[in-house]
């Protein structure tokens, strides 16, 4: 079965360290997204990609970067982790965009704690 997997599921790091969260999907979807979930804010879009070599900033992109070198993977990098980036991160993919076949398929999440 096609799926979307995230790793690691749990990560504790220190302020200033570089952290990369991996996301791998086997749906062959062109569209991939990274969200963070925080109490009182719901799910907020960090970065997204509509295809290989395409990356775009979302509403909370500061301090994060992504790269898309193939269809299956969209790693999220925190260049210098800050305590404000302690959150649960969700990767998602979709076949189309809202209004077409916009249903998002989410991974199980990566809980990141920055001390």
For 62, left (φ over 0), alpha (ψ -120 to 50), or beta? beta
Which residue in 25, 35, 46, 112 binds other proteins (CB under 8 A)? 35
Binding to other proteins (CB under 8 A) within 62-91 occurs at 90
Strand positions, DSSP E, the chain: 4-7, 10-13, 19-25, 31-38, 42-51, 54-57, 64-66, 76-78, 87-94, 105-106, 110-114
By the rule CB under 8 A, 102 interacts with other proteins: yes
Q: How far is the CB of 80 from other proteins (least distance, A)?
A: 26
By the rule CB under 8 A, 97 interacts with other proteins: yes
Binding site for other proteins (CB under 8 A): 4, 33, 35, 40-45, 48, 58, 90, 92, 96-100, 102-109
């Amino acid at each position: 079965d096609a799926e979307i997997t995230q790793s690691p599921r749990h990560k504790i790091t220190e302020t200033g360290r570089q952290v990369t969260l991996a996301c791998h999907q086997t749906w062959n979807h062109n569209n991939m997204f990274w969200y963070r979930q925080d109490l009182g804010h719901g799910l907020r879009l960090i970065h997204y990609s509509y295809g290989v070599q395409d990356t775009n900033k979302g509403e909370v992109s500061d301090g994060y970067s992504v790269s898309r070198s193939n269809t299956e993977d969209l790693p999220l990098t925190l260049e210098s982790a800050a305590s404000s980036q302690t959150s649960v991160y969700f990767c998602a993919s979709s076949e189309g965009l809202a209004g077409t076949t916009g249903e998002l398929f989410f991974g199980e999440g990566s809980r990141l704690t920055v001390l």
